[in-house]
A and B are shown apart, each in its own frame.
Chain A
C-alpha cells in the first residue's frame, strides 16, 4: 500500500513544474525540435523596407531562380481569404498586395528546400514602391488626421468637467509611455503538415490554437474541422503569441496544401521583432483636481495609443488601459477617452497586462504629481484615494469594487519593508548632496480579472481514466512557462485524490477541446482548472454510482481517500477500483466545461461588471542613481502580492518575481526606437535590452499574502497571477523619479517618460538642475 496520509502534489503544495526535468536536460520539445518528415520545406517572408507606400512592381525572378527555391506565394495565392484580422475587420492581409503600411510588412513568402536557402532567396526580391507620407506615433497620427483602427471608448462617472473647473488644486500633464517587445526566448514558428482531403495539421508556438485553427481555415477557404492545431508548449508567450502567429501558420498551411509537403516557417529574431506586434505605446494627457489633502475630485484622461497599421487587439487593449486608469483609486468624477490611433508601424498586440499597465502608470503618475505639488510623500496621497469598502468604491465603468484589500495589504508591506524609516534615510542621504542620489517608492496594483470580451470567459477539458488507474488530462489552455499544466494537474489530483504522477497532460490540441479561448488575461488556471474539475467530478459521480450499485452502499459511504477509494468498510487502491469499474462498463471519460458567472459589459454605455474579481499587490523599491550619467540600480525591492489561496506557492512566487522584473524592464532599459523612415532599429537582443540577472534588485523580498482568499468561488479560492504583478515594476520607475527630484529639493515632479533609460534619467536631472539654477 502506498502512503495514504496525503497525495503527492495536491493543490497548495510547491510542486515542481511538470516539465522541469525536461527543461534542464534539453529534452522538452518545442515546435522547431519536432523531427521533420522527408521533403520538409521551409518558408521565409519577404518584407517591406518602407513604412508606407503603394507597391508599383514586384520582381521575383531572382527569388524564383535562387538555389533551392520551390515556390513563392503572393497575396493572390491564398485559396480562401487573404486576411488574418482577429477582429474580423479585414484590415490585416496575410500578404500585402497593393500597399504596405509599415516597415516589415510581409509581401511574399518564398518556399525552399532549407531555411537558409529560403532566407537568402527572400533577399533577392526587387520591389518598387511609390512612397507615401507616414505617421509613426499617435501624436503624429492625430496631426496627420489618421483614423482610429477601431472604435474609441469612453468611460464616464460623475461630472469631471465641473469637478475640474471648480477645483481647489488642478494639474495637467502629458506622459509618454513606451511600448515593449515580448522577447519570448522561442520566436514565432509554424509547422504545417498536409493531410488527406482538405486536412492540415499545424504545430505552432501559440497561446491561441483555436484562433490559428480559425485563421488557417479562413485563409485556406475550408471548414474549421479540416484544421488541427497542436501545441505542446511555448517558449514564452506574454501575449505575443495570442494573434501574431496567425500569419506564419496560415502561410505554412497554404504552402503545405499547395505543395503537398510539410512546410515550416521560422523568422529570424530580427524579423520576428520587426514584423510582429508589441505592447502599445501611449501618449496620455491628464487633467486632475484635488483638495488640500490630495483627495481627487475630478480626473480626465485622454489615452492616445500607437496601434500600428491594423486593429488586431488594439480595441480591447486600449479599453483595458481605461479600465485600469483608476488602478486602486476612487475617482468621484471621471472622464476617460481612448484614441486607438492608426500608425505606420507594426500592428501592436497583447502583452502581459493588455493595456492595463499603461492605465495604471497614469494613475500612479497622478499620485506622484499630487505628492510633489503638496509636498507630501506620494504614499500618503495613495492612501487618501484608495477605494473604500462600503463607499467610494465605484469604478469609472460603474462596477462596485467588492473585494478591496489594498489598504490592509499596503499597511502590511509598509511594516515588513520598514518603509517609513527607510524613506527618512533616503531623504537624509540625499540631503548630503552627493553625486549618488537615492529614491524609494511604494506603488500598489489592483487588477481586474476576466476577459472583457465576456464570451472568452469559457473553457473546456477532457479527462480519460484508463483501466489501470492512470489519468489522461487535456484542457484548452497553453503551457508557456507559467505552470498551467502543473496547476491543473494538481486540481485533478485533488479531485481524484491520486498522486499527481498518476496524471499526464499531453499537448493542447483543437481535436480534444474545441472552441477554446486564448491562454491570456491571467485566466488560464481560473478557467481551465474549473473545467478540468468539472470533468473530474463527472467521472467521480459515475464511479460513486457504480460503487453504490456494486456494493449496495449509500453514496455517502464512498470516499476518495489518498490513492484509495473507500467503499463502506472496504478499501481499494484507486487502480483496483477503476479496474473494477471498467469491467462493470462504467464510462470513465468525460468532458468538462466552465464559464465565469456574473460578468457582463456594455461597451456602448461604458458600464457593467466586466471583472469577476480583482487581484491586489504592492511593491516598495529603493534605487540609487548616478547623477553624472543617469546609470542606476535597484538596491532593494519588497513585494507583497495577493494570489488568493495559492494553488502552488512556488509557481506563484515565480510568476510574481518574473512579472516584476519584466515590468521593471519595460520602464527602464527596454526601449523601442524607430528611425525617421519608420524602421525599428531595436530589433534584437543586441539592441533591445531586457533585464539581466545583474539587474535584479540587490535585495529582493517577495511574499504572497498569506491571509487572502478569493471571495468568489474560483478554483480552490485562488486568484489569477500572470499579469497583476507586472505593474509592481512601477515602484522602480517612481523611485528613480524621486532620486531625480532630489536635485531640485523635491519641489517639482520630474515627469519622467517611460522607459527611464539612463539617458532620460540624466536629462531629467539636468533639466531640474537648470530649472533650479
Chain B
C-alpha cells in the first residue's frame, strides 16, 4: 500500500493541526488540555456522562459541514482526521466580546462553580445554531448530556431561552466562514488510508469499506472503533490497549442510509443522531425512545452498528431491532453474510463475528399493515441513563386476534433476547388486556434477570410484566393517560 498518509490532519478552532505521533488511545481532551493548554474544556468524568468536556466537531457532509457536540474525553484524537474542532476558547470575538450564548448565560446567572459551564455553553451553542428559538423541551434534550451540580438548571434554561436576544446564528463565525472551512476540510480529506502511531500503539483510518476489509484481513484482532462511546471507556476507565485500532466513524460508504419500500438500511457508521429522522418517520414509536438513548453528545458519536456489534445485554437498540425483525450484514474480504440480529448475540460478551469481519449495515423491514409497535426504556433517571429494562413490542392483530408477536427485552438476560414463551402464549389470542396479562405471567419462563446496581431481579421481572399491560392499554382506548406526559 503505497498510498498511505502518515499523519492526521484537522482544524482546531482557527488553526491547522498535523500530527503523526498519535497513539490509538490518545483522547481529544488530553490533547486539548495537555498538549495545547486549551484548559477551558474540562474533565469531569472521563466517560462521556457529564458533558464538561463538550466541544463541537464539524465534518464534511455533502456540500456542507455538520457541526455536532461530542464528548472530548472519549473522542479519540485519531478519529478527528478531516474534521474541524471548535472549543469554548473560540466563541468570544477577537475583541473579547462575549458570544450571544455566553452573554445569556452571564445575564441569567447560569453559572455557579463554573466547572460544567464551558460544556453547557458548547451544547447551547450547538442548539442555537440548529434552533435559534428553541422550546424548553428542545433545550432539555440538548442538555441531556450535561450535568450541573450547582444551579438546578433553572437559570441555564432561562439563559437558553434568551440567547437569540443577543445575536443570530447567521452572523456567527461558523456560518459566515463556512464556505472557507468546507474548502479547508475538503483539501485535507484526500481519500487516503491514514496510519499513525506512537511506538507500537497504532491507529488506522481505512480509506473506505473495502480498505477496512483489507485492514482487518491483515489485523484480524484489531479494535474496530466507530463512535467510541463504548471503546472510549475501555481506554479511559479500564486502561485497555486497543492497538491496533481501526477508526471507521468517518468512512462515507459506511455512513449511508438507504430506504426502499420494504426496508431501511443503516450503515454501520451511521450515528444515532443521523438516523433519528428517518427512523422516526418510518417507526413513530421510536421518536420518543430515540431521544432517551444516552445524551445528545453520545447520540452524535455513537452508532447503531456499534450498539449491535459490541453485543451488550443492555444496549438500547438491539431489543428494538430484534422486535422489528432486523438483519445484520457482516462484511470481510471474503464477502458479506446476513443473519437475523437475534442470532448475532450468542452469549454474554460473545457475538457471531469472525476474525476479519465487521458489521457493515443493518436492514430494518418497514412495518407491516396491522402491526402494533412500542419501545420502552425503564431506567433510574429518565434521560441519559442505561436501561434497567428495555422492551420492544411488534404485534400483528387481524380481526381482533393476535396472529404474530415479536417481543424482545434488554437487561433481562445475558443477551438481548426475545420473550419466546410469552410470544407463543399471545399468538391466537384475542386482543385484550387479559391476553397480555396472561402472557406476562409466564415471562419468568423466558427470563431470569439479575440483581445489580441498576435494578433488582424482582423489579426487572415485575416491570417487564407490567409493560405488557402498558402495551395493551396504550394501544386501546383509555379514558385516562397510561404514561407520564413530559410537558
Q: Which residues of A come within 8 Å of B, CB atoms?
A: 14, 16-17, 19-30, 32-33, 35, 116, 119-120, 123, 182-187, 233-238, 268-270, 432, 434-436, 480-483, 624, 626, 628-633, 635, 650-651, 653-654, 657-662, 669, 671, 673, 675, 681-682, 684-687, 689-696, 698, 700, 702, 757-759, 762-763, 766
With A26-B89, A628-B466, A650-B109 already in contact, the answer to whether A763 and B458 are too (CB < 8 A) is yes
Across-interface contacts of B102 in A (CB, < 8 A): 21, 24-25
* CB pair B113 A685 closer than 8 Å: no
- Chain B residue with minimal CB distance to A686? B49
- Chain A residue with minimal CB distance to B89? A26
15 further interface pairs, Cβ-Cβ under 8 Å (given A16-B106, A236-B113): A24-B106, A24-B110, A185-B50, A185-B147, A235-B113, A629-B466, A661-B153, A669-B380, A684-B47, A685-B47, A692-B383, A693-B157, A694-B140, A702-B154, A762-B462
* CB pair A654 B151 closer than 8 Å: yes
Q: Is B40 an interface residue (CB 8 A)?
A: yes
- Chain A residue with minimal CB distance to B122? A26
- Chain A residue with minimal CB distance to B378? A629
Q: Is B334 an interface residue (CB 8 A)?
A: no
* CB pair A24 B487 closer than 8 Å: no
* CB pair B380 A689 closer than 8 Å: yes
- Chain B residue with minimal CB distance to A238? B149
Interface residues of B in 430-485 (CB under 8 A from A): 452-456, 458-459, 462-463, 466-467, 469-470, 473, 479-484
- Chain B residue with minimal CB distance to A635? B487
Across-interface contacts of B140 in A (CB, < 8 A): 692-694
Q: Is B382 an interface residue (CB 8 A)?
A: yes
- Chain B residue with minimal CB distance to A669? B381
A691 to B487 Cα, complex, angstroms? 17
Point out the residue from B105, B106, B113, B479 that lies within 8 Å of A184, measured CB to CB: B113
With A268-B46, A695-B382 already in contact, the answer to whether A658 and B40 are too (CB < 8 A) is no
With A33-B39, A434-B480 already in contact, the answer to whether A25 and B91 are too (CB < 8 A) is yes
Q: List 22 A-B contacts (CB under 8 A).
A: A17-B111, A24-B118, A25-B40, A27-B40, A30-B42, A116-B30, A183-B149, A184-B113, A185-B113, A185-B115, A432-B479, A436-B483, A481-B114, A629-B467, A651-B109, A654-B109, A657-B154, A658-B150, A690-B149, A691-B153, A693-B143, A759-B459
* CB pair B114 A23 closer than 8 Å: yes
A624 to B480 Cα, complex, angstroms? 13
* CB pair B467 A628 closer than 8 Å: yes
Nearest CB in chain A: distance from B471 CB, A: 10
Point out the residue from B98, B112, B456 that lies within 8 Å of A658, measured CB to CB: B112
Across-interface contacts of B467 in A (CB, < 8 A): 628-629
Of B102, B112, B383, B462, most A-chain CB atoms within 10 Å: B112
Q: Is B41 an interface residue (CB 8 A)?
A: yes
A159 to B140 Cα, complex, angstroms? 53
Interface residues of B in 76-125 (CB under 8 A from A): 87-89, 91-92, 98, 101-102, 105-107, 109-118, 121
A686 to B294 Cα, complex, angstroms? 10
* CB pair A671 B486 closer than 8 Å: no
Q: Is B219 an interface residue (CB 8 A)?
A: no
Q: Is B61 an interface residue (CB 8 A)?
A: no
Nearest CB in chain A: distance from B142 CB, A: 9
With A657-B152, A658-B112, A686-B49 already in contact, the answer to whether A434 and B481 are too (CB < 8 A) is yes
Q: Is B253 an interface residue (CB 8 A)?
A: no
* CB pair A119 B39 closer than 8 Å: no
Q: Is B45 an interface residue (CB 8 A)?
A: yes
With A684-B45, A693-B157 already in contact, the answer to whether A436 and B481 are too (CB < 8 A) is yes
* CB pair A185 B149 closer than 8 Å: yes
Nearest CB in chain B: distance from A466 CB, A: 25
A258 to B302 Cα, complex, angstroms? 46
A517 to B420 Cα, complex, angstroms? 64
Q: Which residues of B come within 8 Å of A, CB atoms?
A: 30, 33, 37-47, 49-50, 52, 87-89, 91-92, 98, 101-102, 105-107, 109-118, 121, 139-141, 143-144, 146-157, 236-237, 239, 378-386, 388, 452-456, 458-459, 462-463, 466-467, 469-470, 473, 479-484, 486-487
Of A235, A681, A696, A700, most B-chain CB atoms within 10 Å: A235
Nearest CB in chain A: distance from B154 CB, A: 5
Nearest CB in chain B: distance from A445 CB, A: 16
* CB pair A185 B109 closer than 8 Å: no
A691 to B384 Cα, complex, angstroms? 10
Point out the residue from B155, B156, B456, B470 that lies within 8 Å of A628, measured CB to CB: B470
Across-interface contacts of A185 in B (CB, < 8 A): 42, 44, 50, 52, 113, 115-116, 147-149
* CB pair B114 A119 closer than 8 Å: no
A236 to B114 Cα, complex, angstroms? 8
- What 3 pairs between A and B have smallest CB-CB spacing? A26-B40, A481-B113, A235-B115
Across-interface contacts of A236 in B (CB, < 8 A): 113, 115, 149-150
Nearest CB in chain B: distance from A616 CB, A: 20
Across-interface contacts of A237 in B (CB, < 8 A): 113
* CB pair B117 A24 closer than 8 Å: yes
- Chain A residue with minimal CB distance to B90? A26
With A694-B140, A694-B486 already in contact, the answer to whether A24 and B98 are too (CB < 8 A) is yes
* CB pair A270 B143 closer than 8 Å: no
* CB pair A234 B144 closer than 8 Å: no
Nearest CB in chain A: distance from B424 CB, A: 23
A235 to B116 Cα, complex, angstroms? 8
A684 to B45 Cα, complex, angstroms? 7
* CB pair A689 B385 closer than 8 Å: yes
Of A116, A237, A238, A654, most B-chain CB atoms within 10 Å: A654
Nearest CB in chain B: distance from A276 CB, A: 15
Nearest CB in chain B: distance from A134 CB, A: 18
* CB pair B89 A696 closer than 8 Å: no
- Chain B residue with minimal CB distance to A182? B149
With A27-B40, A684-B45, A689-B385 already in contact, the answer to whether A629 and B114 are too (CB < 8 A) is no
Across-interface contacts of B456 in A (CB, < 8 A): 759
A682 to B481 Cα, complex, angstroms? 34
A432 to B382 Cα, complex, angstroms? 26
Nearest CB in chain A: distance from B437 CB, A: 12
Of A626, A694, A700, most B-chain CB atoms within 10 Å: A694
With A32-B39, A233-B114, A692-B147 already in contact, the answer to whether A436 and B482 are too (CB < 8 A) is yes
Nearest CB in chain A: distance from B40 CB, A: 2
Across-interface contacts of A630 in B (CB, < 8 A): 459, 463
* CB pair A25 B452 closer than 8 Å: no
- Chain B residue with minimal CB distance to A266? B43
Nearest CB in chain A: distance from B58 CB, A: 19
With A24-B106, A658-B150 already in contact, the answer to whether A762 and B463 are too (CB < 8 A) is yes
- Chain A residue with minimal CB distance to B108? A650
* CB pair A480 B109 closer than 8 Å: no
With A16-B109, A759-B456 already in contact, the answer to whether A632 and B239 are too (CB < 8 A) is no
Across-interface contacts of A17 in B (CB, < 8 A): 109, 111-112, 114
* CB pair A24 B42 closer than 8 Å: no
* CB pair A628 B463 closer than 8 Å: yes
Nearest CB in chain A: distance from B104 CB, A: 9
* CB pair B380 A435 closer than 8 Å: no
Nearest CB in chain B: distance from A263 CB, A: 16
A268 to B237 Cα, complex, angstroms? 8
A19 to B239 Cα, complex, angstroms? 36
Nearest CB in chain A: distance from B128 CB, A: 14
Across-interface contacts of B50 in A (CB, < 8 A): 185, 685
* CB pair B44 A270 closer than 8 Å: no
* CB pair A26 B39 closer than 8 Å: yes
Across-interface contacts of A14 in B (CB, < 8 A): 109
With A20-B111, A35-B37, A685-B45 already in contact, the answer to whether A690 and B153 are too (CB < 8 A) is no
* CB pair A25 B378 closer than 8 Å: no
* CB pair B40 A763 closer than 8 Å: no
A671 to B380 Cα, complex, angstroms? 9
Across-interface contacts of B452 in A (CB, < 8 A): 673, 681
Point out the residue from B30, B98, B154 that lies within 8 Å of A700, measured CB to CB: B154
* CB pair B153 A696 closer than 8 Å: yes
Across-interface contacts of B92 in A (CB, < 8 A): 25
